[in-house]
Amino acid sequence: MLSRPLILILIGTLTCSAALAQTPAADASSNHDATPMTLGFTTDLLPIVVSATEDEFGKSGQVWLGVESLRLRLVGADIFMPDGISANNGFTNRRITTYAFIVDKCFGEHYDGWWVGSGFELWMNEMEHEDAPGENVEWNNVAWTLGGGYTWRFWNDFFLAFLLLRQPAVQTIPLGLVAFFQQYDSLWNLYFAALMMTTLPVILIFVLMQRQFIAGITAGATKG
């Protein structure tokens, strides 16, 4: 069933998205006529946080292609809505699965920072009613969206820490590892020793608590 085939949705959010990877697809440094392109993956924290309030595991992923200041996004998200927000009259357990194609205008230098965008979304909804447990009511919406937000790139963010953390006592591990590379010499033996020391605790914690990690990831995968 397709209800309200075209809905105008105005979204002005300050939700924080995290760009997990950026890989240059073309380098324009040697050719000024070439168009710089970037391929990336982004996750939005809002579906994860909202679903966690219902003890469910929400998901969100976006694959995007950047051309100069424009970003073309393919979006997928799975959200479990709180009953107090989206359900009444005996309805409960609303789940929204969304697919979208969005074109953004980015104002940051590396597709981070503030952005505005517009595109089309498919919303696949399902809910349960307390009088018919186990039976879902399903409906779909096609929507045109206009929105904006802020993208925070935290993976491989070296320069922000390099500019702000000037005292060695408060510097992060990547800044400490850079100290082994000097103007006239590179201390590779000390670098790999320090790299091993910083990596082993993470590996050890995962090995000792891998059952807890897996249990936490799969806790919201099934219901009942």
Q: Where are the domains of the chain?
A: 7-156, 166-218
Q: Is 14 exposed, middle or buried (0-12, 13-18, 19+ CB in 10 A)?
A: exposed
Average pLDDT rounded to a whole number, residues 137-160: 79
Question: pTM of the entire structure?
Answer: 0.52
Q: Could you tell me which of 141, 140, 149 has the C-alpha nearest to residue 60?
A: 149
Question: What is the per-residue pLDDT across 191-219, written as a single tens digit (0 to 9) for each?
Answer: 888 888 888 888 888 888 877 777 776 66
Q: How confident is the model at residue 87 (pLDDT cuts 50, 70, 90)?
A: low
Q: How many whole angstroms separate alpha carbon 29 and alpha carbon 33?
A: 10
Q: How many whole angstroms separate alpha carbon 106 and alpha carbon 42?
A: 14
Structure tokens at 53: 């309030």
In order of 127, 139, 171, 198, 201, the CA distances from 174 in angstroms are: 47, 49, 8, 10, 16
Residue 5 DSSP symbol: S
